[in-house]
């Protein structure tokens, strides 16, 4: 409860009300079905928790004023690094905060901490930025306006606007360049793209969906991480964990009753990491008026671990076709760019 204190201005009080109404915190203990055989929590499980927190806070904010009711739909997840592993028995603390709003979108920052309940020690495992758009409950194709937020500094709004424009441009570029599909190959050679590529087919049921009858973004991300993990495990044949996820772009909604195909293929390997491209295609099998379409896409990075949890070298990928060689070079460019950023010497964009 917020109390009006002596000398507390209405502006300051409004900010405190905003934080109380639009902040989101949650806790969840990690169980065996959340983790792999080595006891490390699946990256997809964490991504699903992150998305649920983002969906709650953005939907709450978009319905904070009188007007047409809506639900926030996930449009994009920025690059997410898995800073530290989370294990069975630890408690995940998820907190979310709205950091920027445009006319039709909401930017949410989500942090995840893991807590060892025996010692009380906590560590930061994930920081993620997500973008949502409000869809009308009356018409799911109608995007509503977002109530503005109050910024403590003008620079915050300017910085947020730059992030908004950058992600909007990249999301459109990604949609157009991701038109290809993953084709199976008979008797592939080890360490090739075809050897480890994998697909998962999933029928979208009611438990996967929002009130609108569309798939939760977190459900899609969890399935994407599962396929990427299979690709990585097939390639190196060791225990693997998610190291990072490049921006996940949600190009279109997926309806209840659709069949989705989640396909993964390795695009690049460094000495100790693997980049896997994951594509999500939706097939409206009961609606002949609609064609199969690309619903989402992303790049996942995995590392190989020994039984003791130490990082291991990974077998080097052998690209065979011209397209595979091109994707390998593009992946190498992304890897070198992120490596330079981590070292504080990022190269300028061409």
Compute φ and ψ for 200, nearest 5 degrees: -130, 130
- Cα dihedral sign, 164-167-170-171: negative
Residue 26 CA to residue 213 CA, distance in Å, equals 25
pLDDT surpasses 70 at 21: no
Residue 12 CA to residue 32 CA, distance in Å, equals 45
SS (H, E, C) the chain: CCCCCCCCCHHHHHHHHHHHHHCEEEEEECCHHHECCCCEECHHHHHHHHHHHHHHHHHHHHCCCCCCCEEEEEEEECCEEECCCCECCCEEEEEEEEEEECCCCEEEEEEEEEECCCCCCEEEEEEEEEEEEEEECCCCCCECCCCCCCCCCHHHHHHHHHHHHHHHHHHHHHHHHCCCCCCCCCCCCCCEHHHHCEEEEEECCHHHECCCCEECHHHHHHHHHHHHHHHHHHHHCCEEEEEEECCEEECCCCECCCEEEEEEEEEEECCCCEEEEEEEEEECCCCCCCCCEEEEEEEEEEEEECCCCCEECCCCCECCCHHHHHHHHHHHHHHHHHHHHHCCCCCCCC
Pinpoint the residues of the chain covered by CATH 3.10.129.10: 20-165, 180-344
The mean-pLDDT minimum among 110-114, 207-211, 215-219, 342-346 falls in 342-346
pLDDT surpasses 70 at 132: yes
Average pLDDT of the segment spanning 1-11: 32
Compute φ and ψ for 86, nearest 5 degrees: -115, 140
What's the pLDDT tens digit per position in 221-235? 999 999 999 999 999
Give the pLDDT score at 23: 64
* Homologous superfamily (CATH) for 180-344: Hotdog Thioesterase (3.10.129.10)
Q: 307 pLDDT band (50/70/90 cuts)?
A: confident
What's the pLDDT tens digit per position in 257-302? 999 999 999 999 999 999 999 999 999 988 778 889 999 999 999 9
Q: 176 pLDDT band (50/70/90 cuts)?
A: low
Regarding the domain delimited by 20-165, which CATH topology (the fold level of the hierarchy) does it fall under? Thiol Ester Dehydrase; Chain A (3.10.129)
- The contacts of residue 72 (CB under 8 Å, 6+ apart) are 54, 55, 58, 59, 62, 106, 132, 133, 134, 135
Q: 50 pLDDT band (50/70/90 cuts)?
A: very high
Average pLDDT of the segment spanning 39-49: 94
Percent of the residues in the chain that have a pLDDT greater than 90, as a whole number? 70
CB 220 within 8 A of CB 254: yes
Q: 211 pLDDT band (50/70/90 cuts)?
A: confident
pLDDT surpasses 70 at 118: yes
Average pLDDT of the segment spanning 114-143: 94
Average pLDDT of the segment spanning 317-346: 88
pLDDT surpasses 60 at 2: no
User: How much is the mean pLDDT over the chain?
Assistant: 87
Q: 144 pLDDT band (50/70/90 cuts)?
A: very high
Report, as residue numbers or ranges, the catalytic residues.
36, 225
pLDDT surpasses 60 at 166: yes
């Amino acid at each position: 409860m917020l109390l009006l204190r002596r000398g507390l201005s209405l502006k300051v009080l409004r900010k405190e009300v905003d934080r109380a109404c639009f902040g989101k915190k949650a806790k969840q203990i990690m169980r065996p079905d959340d983790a792999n055989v080595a006891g490390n929590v699946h990256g997809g499980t964490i991504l699903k928790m992150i998305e649920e927190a983002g969906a709650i806070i953005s939907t709450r904010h978009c319905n904070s004023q009188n007007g047409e009711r809506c639900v926030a739909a996930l449009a994009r997840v920025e690059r997410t690094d898995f800073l530290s592993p989370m294990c069975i028995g630890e408690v995940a603390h998820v907190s979310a905060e709205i950091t920027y709003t445009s006319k039709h979108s909401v930017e949410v920052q989500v942090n995840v901490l893991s807590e060892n309940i025996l010692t009380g020690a906590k560590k930061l495992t994930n920081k993620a930025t997500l973008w949502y758009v409000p869809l009308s409950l009356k018409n799911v194709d109608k995007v509503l306006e977002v109530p503005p937020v109050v910024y403590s500094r003008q620079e915050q709004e300017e910085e947020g606007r730059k992030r908004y424009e950058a992600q909007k441009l990249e999301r459109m570029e990604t949609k157009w360049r991701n038109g290809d599909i993953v084709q199976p190959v008979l008797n592939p050679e080890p360490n090739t793209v075809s050897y480890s590529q994998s697909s998962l087919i999933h029928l979208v049921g009611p438990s996967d969906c929002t009130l609108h009858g569309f798939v939760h973004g977190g459900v899609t991300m969890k399935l994407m991480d599962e396929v990427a993990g299979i690709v990585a495990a097939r390639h190196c044949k060791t225990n693997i964990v998610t190291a990072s996820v490049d921006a996940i772009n949600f190009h279109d909604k997926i309806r209840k009753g659709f069949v989705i195909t989640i396909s993964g293929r390795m695009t690049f390997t460094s000495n100790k990491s693997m980049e896997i491209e994951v594509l999500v295609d939706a097939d409206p099998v009961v609606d002949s008026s609609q064609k199969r379409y690309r619903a989402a896409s992303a790049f996942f990075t995995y590392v190989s671990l020994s039984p003791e949890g130490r990082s291991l070298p990974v077998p080097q990928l052998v690209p065979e076709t011209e397209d595979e060689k091109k994707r390998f070079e593009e992946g190498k460019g992304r890897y070198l760019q992120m490596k330079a950023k981590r070292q504080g010497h990022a190269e300028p964009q061409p």
